[in-house]
Amino acid sequence: MTLLVAGVQDGKVWIVADTQISGGTLELRDREHIAKIVPGPRSLIGFAGDIATGQKLSEEAAIADSLEGALEILTAATQHGGVDFALAFLDEEAKLFRVSSGAAERVTTLHLGSQAAFETFQRLRHTSEPSFAPQALKIFMAGAPQPVPDDLLTAIRTMCELFATHQDRDVGGWVVPYFLDDTGSHVCDYSYGTSDPVLDDIPPGDIVPHGTQGGGGAQLSFTGLRGAEGWTVYWLQLPGGVVHLKGPDGKYKSHRLSGTPTQFLAKCMEILGVSAELFVSDRPSGAIERISIAVDAAGQPVMVVAGHSNGAMTMSTPNPRSPFVATPRMPPSKDGDSPLKRKLTIELDEKSKSAILKLSTGQSATLGVVELEELLDTLGGIRSQLEPSVPTAFPNGESLRLTDNPSWRAFRKPHPQTAGVVLCIRSATLGWQSFHLPPHEVANLGRYLINNMFE
């Protein structure tokens, strides 16, 4: 059986599906899991039913030049039953169709496959209180270089929980999520897992270790490939995973690779020639480059996610003995696609003396340090005039660039119009920045620093 769920939100179509195979021929059963969503340049096609037919026709429809051509292929395939399709197609706008029994219907939501699994999915999705693992940290993170529909994030998390609670075992494997917007089809990266039940044993603020097979924890990482079409899924406790890669013939093929995260990534490059990223790492953490601090209603930090220079991510919680729900957000991959990169790319020259800006129109400019600093200052001034303005509230859970142990200078009322203190802080990315703190904020900051000194 299959469970595929899809919807339309904010002009985007999203689709999630499981990968488990049940029924069918022995040859397919031996493979255990299969991708049930096929992406095209302007489309996403998912299927439920006969695996061989669904996969073959989805691949054909994915390369169709028009919506009419894709619908013609899929409606003909469903005339005699045995397989149903979900078609998302970018045709002036992203549209979603259910194709079944020789007919196509435009819809805003749909599901294919197991009705029992979908009913469980709906119950879990509409449960107001999330499930907790006793004395453990349950982790779900997801994102993409493009804004991801909120309904897709909910669907991924819900389907992950479904696999652990649905007793019929007719659906399972891992969640494959895609969405289609006005720029094309995109994989949504995510990580889902649970730590070992160790929160009573770790001091506040310490790193929460990855779950272990012996301790009852688990960690799954699902990420799109960088510079190639496909994705990887990796289990830290296995250890190993699958690389789903589009070959020169246009067909997707899955490759199983074993090993630690470092070994797995090396095999991706050595055997398949692709660059991959994982949410998990077995390497010592490098310096922290970005940090995401999620706070509760009282403004107190409850979860911190740190992104390190070597690509690793670590998590900590200041109060591990109190239940909490937090929503930290991950930054886009350095190597991933983004709307900006389609218009402008920036490279460093070989001697690290200048930056090379390349426009999609083919024009380029080389900027030295002084010119680049002038550009940054100009862009900052323009940003200050744009709407919406930078929020005054703390960006709860957002990923922020971190400067470690910055140089700083403070000056008491250096000008008649700057009563209080002017605080100057060095940023390695933006240079020296100055901030005027009026007297009452100087007092507030001073009290906070005195009351929160740490050894």
Structure confidence by residue, pLDDT tens digits, 241-260? 999 999 888 889 999 999 99
Cα within 13 Å of Cα(406), Cβ side: 18
* Distance of alpha carbon 402 from alpha carbon 427, whole angstroms: 9
| Complete DSSP assignment for 254-292 | EEEEES-HHHHHHHIIIII--B---S---SPP--EEEEE
* Distance of alpha carbon 159 from alpha carbon 5, whole angstroms: 9
Mean pLDDT of 2-18: 96
Confidence at residue 314, expressed as pLDDT on a 0 to 100 scale: 86
For the stretch 106-157, pLDDT in tens is 999 999 999 999 999 999 998 866 566 678 888 888 888 788 999 999 999 9
The helix/strand/coil state of 96 is strand
Q: What stretches of 330-394 adopt beta strand conformation (E)?
A: 344-348, 355-359, 364-367
* CA angle at 151 for the pair 153 and 64, rounded to the nearest 5°: 95
Report which DSSP code applies to 67. Answer: H
Lookup: tokens for 259: 């090993």
Closest to 316 measured CA to CA, from 208, 196, 399: 208
Residue 26 has pLDDT above 50, yes or no: no
For the stretch 173-218, pLDDT in tens is 999 999 999 989 999 999 998 888 888 888 888 888 888 878 888 8
Q: Is the pTM of this model over 0.85?
A: no
* Distance of alpha carbon 234 from alpha carbon 217, whole angstroms: 15
Alpha helices in 286-359 (DSSP H): 339-343
In this structure, the number of other CB atoms found within 10 A of the CB of residue 401 comes to 14
Evaluate whether 98 touches 86 at the Cβ level (below 8 Å): yes
Confidence at residue 399, expressed as pLDDT on a 0 to 100 scale: 86
Confidence at residue 130, expressed as pLDDT on a 0 to 100 scale: 59
The helix/strand/coil state of 57 is helix
* Distance of alpha carbon 98 from alpha carbon 6, whole angstroms: 10
* Distance of alpha carbon 124 from alpha carbon 171, whole angstroms: 15
The helix/strand/coil state of 372 is helix
Residue 90 has pLDDT above 60, yes or no: yes
Lookup: tokens for 280: 């998990």
Closest to 161 measured CA to CA, from 204, 117, 214, 203: 117
| Complete DSSP assignment for 120-182 | HHHHHHT-SSPP--TTS-EEEEEE-SSPPPHHHHHHHHHHHHHHHH-TT-SS-S--EEEEEET
